[in-house]
Amino acid sequence: MEVSEELESSLLTQPWASVHFGESAFLVKVCFRDTGYILLISDLSSVWYESADTKAVGQRSKELNKRLTVNVSSFLNHLCNLMCPLLAGQPAPATTFSCNRSASGLILHVKSELSGLPFYWDFHCCPAPLEMVSRHLVRPLIRMNLALQHQVQELISLVLQKDAEIEDYRESGATLSRDRLRTEPFQEETFQQNFMTERLPQIFGAGEGQAFASALQQLYTAVMQQEAKQAQKRQCSEDDADLVSTAEITRDPHSPPPSQEDETTSYRERTTPACSPAQKPRLPAAKAKPKKAKGLFS
């Protein structure tokens, strides 16, 4: 099963969504285009995917929906309209989703309606390659963790500055109009200890289905957009280097070999900076003509 490069590139910036099929929680991301679709799904133990082009979609639609005569683009559009509300946490009431896991993969069943007739679809997902898992899940999570660490440090710095500002007001004689607004000075070490002992159990108690909340989805998309920009810059740099290398290698085979004087000149040009005065030809020094003194009214 080959993955369309265009589809997977579009899938990179799509955030993971937390969904439930029955009592099981999953992470899902999907991308639909006119050329087909690509789906990634994980139960945090395994990751599966399916990439299907228009030919595969048309063949499977005929097998599952023999009473429907709809073109492939309409099938893709209908599937997109069914999956998007599911990922947004608002599945259509007339649509049901279920899945079957096996050693060979996972099948996601969809049952809905199209043009007043029953509509069925099966996503046949196979285990995702390690490179795909790393690209869509592992590396983004590491980058998100780094971004959140920087964010926490900036917030701690801001809180400490606010504490210093409040202390200055107090020393100047300022008082609170409402005593319930009084706070204790921020202690980073105490805060970290309380977070580990009190907040972490609450976070893990919420279950694995809330792995990507709304704010984290936005952060995931922002991180992947930045990675795409960096990849584009690296590609442009590599292309420029290839062009320079090709220009150096390509030479007219009928041109005469460079003379020793040419080689010496070429060597000096390569080793001399572009703005160096050594590249400029030295002109013979001319005698400066004495300038006639000018008076105020001359």
Segment 23-27 mean pLDDT: 90
**Residue with more model confidence, 19 or 280:** 19
Q: Which residues contact 288 (CB under 8 A, 6 or more apart)?
A: none
DSSP letter for 138, please. Answer: I
Which domains, from first to last, does the chain contain?
A: 1-128 (2.170.210.10), 132-175+184-200+207-236 (no CATH)
DSSP letter for 87, please. Answer: H
**Residue 95, number of CB atoms within 10 A of its CB:** 16
Model pLDDT for residues 47-56, shown as the tens digit of each residue: 999 999 999 9
Element (H, E) at 17: strand 17-21
Segment 34-60 mean pLDDT: 94
Give every strand in the sheet of 47-53, ordered side by side. 17-21, 24-33, 36-42, 47-53, 117-127, 106-114, 96-101
Segment 280-291 mean pLDDT: 47
CA of 119: how far to CAs of 16, 37, 84, 101, 113, in Å?
26, 18, 17, 22, 5
Model pLDDT for residues 84-125, shown as the tens digit of each residue: 999 998 888 889 999 999 888 999 999 999 888 899 999 999
Residues in the chain: 298
